Amino acid sequence: MADSEKSLKKPEKSKKKSSSKKKRHKIRSIHIQPTDNNGFIATHEHEPDEDDETGQAPPSTIHALGNLDQLHQHLDDTLGGAPGGGQAPPAAQEAPPAAAGGMAGM
């Protein structure tokens, strides 16, 4: 085949990209179960799709995660991560100072 004929062919990569792209379903809830080998199983229950005429929710998806770090990464990827790295705001982390008299006055 001549070089000019090769350049006339359309690349097939564009078809693969569009067909391999999966539609993300809105997640209603995530249930996390520990496993015997210190891993986790995350089950995602989905909301019904807005464009689905039946009103039925897509089937649940199940993800096996090997350790706590993988679970954290999966939740960050799925839920987008929380502000502050998923930690409570600084004001909520600090314990209030103890009262001078304690509970003696009650």
- Euclidean distance between CA atoms 100 and 77, whole angstroms: 46
| Residue 72: inside a domain | yes
- Euclidean distance between CA atoms 86 and 94, whole angstroms: 16
| Residue 75: inside a domain | yes
pTM: 0.52
User: What confidence tens digit (pLDDT) does each residue in 5-34 have?
Assistant: 555 555 554 444 444 456 678 888 999 999
Query: Residue 3 phi/psi, 5° resolution?
Result: -60, -35
| Residue 36: inside a domain | yes
| Residue 40: inside a domain | yes
Lowest mean pLDDT among 6-15, 22-31, 74-83, 85-94: 85-94
H-assigned helices in 1-106: 3-8, 13-20, 68-79, 90-93
What's the number of domains the chain is made of? 1
In terms of residue numbers, what domain contains 75?
24-47+58-79
Integer angstrom CA distances of residue 87 from 1, 57, 84, 90: 61, 31, 6, 8
